[in-house]
Amino acid sequence: MEITFLGTSSGVPTKTRNVSAVALRLLQRGEIWLFDCGEGTQHQFLRSDLRISQIKKIFITHMHGDHIFGLMGLLASCGLGAHAEKIEIYGPPGIEPYLKACMKYSYTYFPFGVKISTVEPGLIYEDAEYTVSCLPLKHRVTTYGYRVAEKDRPGPFNVEKAKKAGIPPGPLYGKLKAGETIVLDGKVFVGKDFCGPTEIGRKFAYCTDTIYCDNAVELARDADVLVHEATFAHQDAPMAFEKLHSTTTMAAQVALAAGVKQLIITHFSPRYAPGNPIQMKDLVAEARAIFPATVAAYDFFRYDIPRRR
């Protein structure tokens, strides 16, 4: 699991930061799950080593333009590029009529097919390897945060131990590796006895836009990585409360309360650009004073989520 930030600005793009988009690359599956799709996201793909053709799912937090204005353009480019597989889109109420109106009035057709799902709190997707859940956050419009959880996997299978036990190679090895119990010649063999320690699944949480809220803590509980907005510096908290955005310290408090391993802050107001009294290093320092394992994202910043040991 690898995260690439394609946009880290709040509200409007700047010379160095595009608006919100985060790509979660599932390397073993050759898939990209995109979180938000601000204006110009497809251009950011072209400037990275990510491939648009690998996008399989898109998760939208809310209907503000800096999170959705790039969605129609990206999908249209997928169509022109002969994208082979259906793209699944998840988002709040409004996402389906918005896209259908865009398609209607721009006369756009998606040959690869698009499945649009309006999310509700709880589990919204599950397969053999991953679950995705969402909860409402606290913003000016209906907004959801997302949590991706990789399922635990059995540890490495000990082939030599199986051979010594007299178990012949073949389908039985697959059953044991999956943790099943088998019976062979009257003997019972338990799968976990032939596997190393269980590989704990990784967890990724994405919370933007929101002021501090309990649901953000719940989504981030015990996560390996929390990506959380930090639009404002601590001294600008009155503005954060007015606009229902987070400060650096709010993001850090969520990470601390949730017990996450790593906090990555993003969605920064352009007011903290170079030359202004408060700059990025100050925002990072504020967050680290509460949660030391904090880094600030920048466009094309990449973070590989390590496996737990």
Pseudo-torsion of CA 284, 36, 127, 265, nearest 10°? 0
What is the rounded CA–CA span in Å between residue 152 and residue 31?
Answer: 19
Asked if residues 36 and 60 have their Cβ atoms less than 8 Å apart, the reply is yes
**45, 122, 191, 265 from 155: Cα distances, Å:** 35, 29, 10, 33
CB proximity list for 160: less than 8 A, separation 6 or greater: none
Distance (Å, whole) CA 206 – CA 92: 15
Catalytic annotation on 66?
Answer: yes
Among 66, 209, 224, 299, the active-site one is: 66
Nearest 5°: phi and psi at 249?
-70, -35
Token digits for 119? 């999310």
Helix (H) or strand (E) holding 189: strand 187-190
Q: Catalytic residues, which ones?
A: 66
